[in-house]
Structure 1
Amino acid sequence: MTIFRKTTAMLLTAIIIRQHELFDEVTLTASEYDPALKEFRESFSVKAIINDNKYAGELKFKHPGSYWVNLESPKYLQSIDVGPYSTVWASMIVDVE
């Protein structure tokens, strides 16, 4: 049995090139791969405040595994059906050992 006690963290930082008045925060969502179900299941998310067109968000992984990480935009898009909504700006797979 492997005991994983330390937390592994990943810091994502960026500068937003095109400003928008509704850009207030981004959301980082980590979904862990479940080999028994052969799918990713949402584990946790972190909000990162946008300040001076910059943001930084830290994801802290508590145990090893494969994670699908999405960077979701601020809710600046409009829909008649659902109101303001976000879109995925970036996706990546992260392997935590």
Structure 2
Amino acid sequence: MAAVRLVGTGDALLAPSITRRLVERFASPTAPRPALHRDLAVLTPRELEVLTLIARGRSNAELAAELTLSEATVKTHVARIFAKLALRDRAQAVVLAYETGLVAPGD
């Protein structure tokens, strides 16, 4: 039931084991960090901060608490990030954040 509510609020549900495998497969901790992808230049500093925290696994509620924002404002930031970067969901956002060097394993 909690999973249904989570998805209903716009969050995605990924098992930690799946997230770990994705990170291990696509983000080597010894690889040099690439320069930030040019597409990230379309994001505001706050949107970059939100994307970074999404990539670190924060939920909308956690983002709101950490950034001292309302959940509605967080949802607006997330929606704008997805629109600007042509992303479907949080999973794509996480992959993009790792691929562009915004975050790296262990951050």
Higher relative contact order (CA 8 A, sep 6+): 2
Higher share in helix: 2
TM-score range, shorter chain: under 0.3
- Is the radius of gyration larger for structure 1 or structure 2? 1
Tell me the TM-score normalised to structure 2 length: 0.26
